[in-house]
Every structure is written in structure tokens, then in C-alpha cells.
Amino acid sequence: MFHKEGFTIILITFFLVAIIALLAHFFVKVPGLRIGIQMAALLILVLVLQFFRNPSRVAIQNPNHILAPVDGKVVIIDEVHEPEYFKDKRRQVSIFMSPINVHVTRYPASGVVTFSKYHPGKYLVAWHPKSSTNNERTTVVVKTSEFGEVLYRQIAGAVARRIVNYAQEGDSVLQGGDAGFIKFGSRVDLFLPLDTKINVTKDQHVVGAKTIIATSINEEE
């Protein structure tokens, strides 16, 4: 299954690859070179297809859990000042997505969207410390039953040039549901209450809608 945001790019890539393969077949006389060109074109198509894949995942609904919003590697776990919305200290967990990761963004918790804003910006590498505030990004806040308001931020990377965000203020959203897409390399930051128990470690690989990033203080009660 492929994400709907990739349909146009996949279709264009398919036709370009088909044209390149046909041109190479009829006009490149050197067999080794002809096959090389055709294989390279096919590889590009495979890379595009794998980038826009959208595996079906059913999240186990739990109001005491914050699920990973994306696939990738945890690169930051820290207590920081969140300057845009909360304007106070929060627990930050950041997940970096390489071009080979699934790039679907999923809601980390169920609730109501209270804030959703797009920011144009730069395209620093996604692991750069200032990418969270300087890069193209969207900020979304979901009001939950157990954590209060939870903020996640989609951040474009050095390659990405478009962030897709489906969250609209007032929407009721479901944990693990499709929240958007970031094209070609990116990062997602989570900002959680200070008393949240973090369940992951730095450099851990996580799976969107599956890995439990954090639990509420009520989980053990």
C-alpha cells in the first residue's frame, strides 16, 4: 500500500522510467550500457515506491500511552524550554527519519486538536539543533485525557521540501491515525509534560503507531 501523497510522484516516475527504458532499448547499442541505464532507471522507481509505502497498522488504543508518531531513530531525549506554544519546560523526544524510513506521520494520542500552524523556513539537516525552530515545520497540539496537551512538530530536513499536515483545529483525532506526511527526509519532535515517564532510549529505533514512547503517571496506579 502506498500513501496518497505519493500517487502523483509515483505515476510520473513510472512513466519517466518507462520512457528511459524504451529509449535505451532502441538507441543504446552497447548491451552493457543499455542494461545499466535500464537498471538504474528501475532502481529509481523502486526507491520512490519504498519511500511512499504506507504499511497498514492498527494502534492499540490506550489513553495512558504516547505512541511513536513516526518510524525512525530517537536522537534527542531532554528537558527543554518549548518557546512557541507552551512557553515553559517540557520533556522533548525527537525522532529522526532517514530516506528509507516510512514517512507517514501518525497521531501519538487520541484527543482534540487545539492548535495547528505551518511555518515556512530553512532546510538544515534534520538533526541540526536549530532545525526545530529554523526549518520548515508544522506544530500540532492535541488535548488528551491523561497527558493534557501534547505537542508534536513535523520538521523538514535538508532534502524535504514539503510537509503535509492533516490536523485542523477542532478535529477529534484517534491515536495511530494518519496525521500527515513529510516528503524525503525529516524529523518529528514530541513535547510532553515533565512528569511523563519516557519509555525509550536515545538511538533506539521506533515504529510509528506501535512503539510506546511514554506513559502517564496514572499508568502504574
Q: Would you name the residues annotated as active-site residues?
A: 186
CA distance 134 to 7: 29
Q: How many CB atoms lie within 10 A of CB 185?
A: 22
List of long-range contacts for 198-203, beta carbons under 8 Å, 24+ apart: 198/77, 198/91, 198/93, 200/74, 200/77, 200/93, 201/74, 201/77, 202/74, 202/75, 202/76, 202/77, 203/73, 203/74, 203/75
Backbone angles phi, psi at 68, to 5 degrees: -60, 130
d(CA 219, CA 127): 31
Gap between the Cα atoms of 168 and 171, Å rounded: 6
Are 25 and 35 in contact, with CB atoms under 8 Å apart?
A: no
Question: Which grid cell sits at 9?
Answer: 510522484
CA pair distance 150, 131, nearest whole angstrom: 20
Distance CA 31, CA 25 (A): 9
